Amino acid sequence: MSKNLDFVKFDKVDKSYDGKVLVVKDLNLDIAEGEFITMLGPSGSGKTTCLMMLAGFETPTNGEIYLDKNPISNIPPHKRGIGMVFQNYALFPHMTVYENLAFPLKVRKFQKDEIDKKVDKALSMVSLSGFEHRMPGQLSGGQQQRVAVARSLVFDPQLVLMDEPLGALDKNLRESMQYEIKHIHESIGVTVVYVTHDQSEALTMSNRIAVFNDGKVQQLSSPDKLYEEPVNSFVAEFIGENNTFAGQVTNMSAKECKVKLNDGTEIVANPISVKSNGDKTTVSLRPERALINTKEKMDNNFKGKIEEVIYHGDHTRVRLDLLGNKEFILKVPNSSANMDIKMGNLINVSWNSHDARALDPK
Amino acid sequence: MSSETGKILTTDGIPLEVSLKKAERKNKIKAFLLVAPLLLFLLITYIFPIGDMLMRSVDDKMVTEMLPKTFKSMEKWDGKELPSEEVFESFYLDFQKLVEEKRDGKLSTQLNYTKNGFKSILKKLRRKAKNFEEGNYKEQIMAVHQRWADVEYWRAIQRRAPAYTSQKYLKGIDMYKNEEGNIVSVEEDRRIHRILWLRTLEIAFFVTLLCFLMAYPIAHLLATLPMKYSNLLMICVLLPFWTSLLVRTASWMILLQQQGVVNDFFVMIGLVADDSRPEMMFNKTGTYVAMTQILLPFMVLPLYSVMKTISPSLMRAGKSLGGTPFVAFWKVYFPLTIPGIGAGCLLVFILAIGYYITPALVGGASGTLISNQIAFHMKSTLDWSFASAMGLMLLAGVLAIYWVYNKLVGVDNIKLG
Q: Are residues B41 and B69 in the same domain?
A: no
CA A91 to CA A139: how far, in whole Å?
A: 11
**Cβ of B331 under 8 Å from any chain A Cβ?**
yes
| Domains, chain A, with CATH or none | 8-233 (3.40.50.300), 241-359 (2.40.50.100)
Q: Are residues B78 and B215 in the same domain?
A: no
What pLDDT, on a 0 to 100 scale, did the predictor assign at position B385? 85
* Contacts with B, A 74-103, CB within 8 Å: 76-84, 86-88, 90-94, 103
Instruction: Judge whether B395 lies within some domain.
Output: yes
Q: What is the pLDDT along chain B (417 residues), one digit of tens a residue?
A: 444 456 777 777 888 888 888 888 989 999 999 999 999 999 999 888 888 888 888 888 888 888 888 888 888 888 788 888 888 888 888 888 888 888 888 888 888 888 888 888 888 888 888 888 887 888 888 888 888 888 888 888 888 888 888 888 888 888 887 767 778 888 888 888 888 899 899 999 999 999 999 999 999 999 988 888 888 988 888 887 788 888 888 888 888 888 888 888 888 888 888 888 888 888 888 889 889 988 999 999 999 989 988 988 899 899 989 888 899 999 999 999 988 898 899 889 989 998 888 888 888 777 788 888 888 888 888 888 888 899 889 989 889 888 888 887 776 666 655
CA B358 to CA B250: how far, in whole Å?
A: 9
* Contacts with A, B 285-324, CB within 8 Å: 311, 313-314, 316-324
Q: Are residues B372 and B224 in the same domain?
A: yes
CATH number of the domain enclosing B361: 1.10.3720.10
Q: Are residues B89 and B238 in the same domain?
A: no
Q: Are residues B263 and B316 in the same domain?
A: yes
Instruction: Judge whether B184 lies within some domain.
Output: no
Identify the domain boundary among B163, B182, B204.
Answer: B163
Instruction: Judge whether B186 lies within some domain.
Output: no
Q: Are residues B239 and B108 in the same domain?
A: no
CB A259 within 8 A of CB A247: yes
Residue B389 bridge partners (DSSP): none
Instruction: Judge whether B182 lies within some domain.
Output: no
What pLDDT, on a 0 to 100 scale, did the predictor assign at position A2? 55
CB A202 within 8 A of CB A209: yes
Q: Are residues B106 and B242 in the same domain?
A: no
Instruction: Judge whether B40 lies within some domain.
Output: yes
Question: Mutation test of the interface with chain A: which of B306, B321, B337, choosing the one with the most A Cβ atoms within 10 A?
Answer: B321
Identify the domain boundary among B163, B185, B216.
Answer: B163
Chain CA centroid to CA A359, Å: 20
Q: Are residues B205 and B293 in the same domain?
A: yes
Which span out of A40-49, A267-276, A331-340, B331-340 was modeled with the highest average pLDDT?
Answer: B331-340
Instruction: Judge whether B175 lies within some domain.
Output: no
- Between A140-144, A179-183, B157-161, the lowest mean confidence (pLDDT) is in B157-161
Q: How far is CA A118 from CA A34, A60, A114, A121, A126, in A?
A: 21, 34, 6, 5, 13
Which span out of A89-98, A164-173, A332-341 was modeled with the highest average pLDDT?
Answer: A89-98
Residues in A closer than 8 angstroms to B317, CB to CB, are 84, 86, 90-92
Q: Are residues B342 and B311 in the same domain?
A: yes
What pLDDT, on a 0 to 100 scale, did the predictor assign at position B6? 61
Q: Are residues B67 and B107 in the same domain?
A: yes
Query: Where in the sequence is the domain holding B257, given as residue range(s)?
Result: 193-413
Instruction: Judge whether B188 lies within some domain.
Output: no
| SS3 label, residue B9 | strand
Compare all CA atoms of chain B with the CA of A160 and give the residue at the minimum distance: B320
Angle between helices B85-100 and B118-129 (to 10 degrees): 80
Q: Are residues B142 and B208 in the same domain?
A: no
Question: Mutation test of the interface with chain B: which of A51, A53, A57, A108, choosing the one with the most B Cβ atoms within 10 A?
Answer: A57
What is the 3-class SS of chain A, one letter each residue? CCCCCCCEEEEEEEEECCCCCEEEEEEEEEECCCCEEEEECCCCCCHHHHHHHHHCCCCCCEEEEEECCEECCCCCHHHCCCEEEECCECCCCCCCHHHHHHHHHHCCCCCHHHHHHHHHHHHHHCCCCCCCCCCHHHCCHHHHHHHHHHHHHCCCCCEEEEECCCCCCCHHHHHHHHHHHHHHHHHHCCEEEEEECCHHHHHHHCCEEEEEECCEEEEEECHHHHHHCCCCHHHHHHCCCCEEEEEEEEEECCCCEEEEECCCCEEEEEECCCCCCCCEEEEEECHHHCEECCCCCCCEEEEEEEEEEEECCCEEEEEEEECCEEEEEEEEECCHHHCCCCCCCEEEEEECHHHCEEECCC
Q: If you write DSSP's letter for every residue of B27-59 in order, what string do you get?
A: HHHHHHHHHHHHHHHHIIIIIHHHHHHHHHHHB
Instruction: Judge whether B185 lies within some domain.
Output: no
What pLDDT, on a 0 to 100 scale, did the predictor assign at position B413? 64
Cβ <8 Å between A88 and B327? no
Q: Write b or e for each residue in A286-323: b if 16 or more Cβ atoms lie within 10 A of its Cβ, otherwise e.
A: bbebbbbeeeeebebebebebeeeeeeeebbebbbebb
Closest to B348 in 3D by CA, of B307, B301, B296, B405: B296
The count of domains in chain B is 3
Q: Are residues B119 and B97 in the same domain?
A: yes
What pLDDT, on a 0 to 100 scale, did the predictor assign at position B220? 92
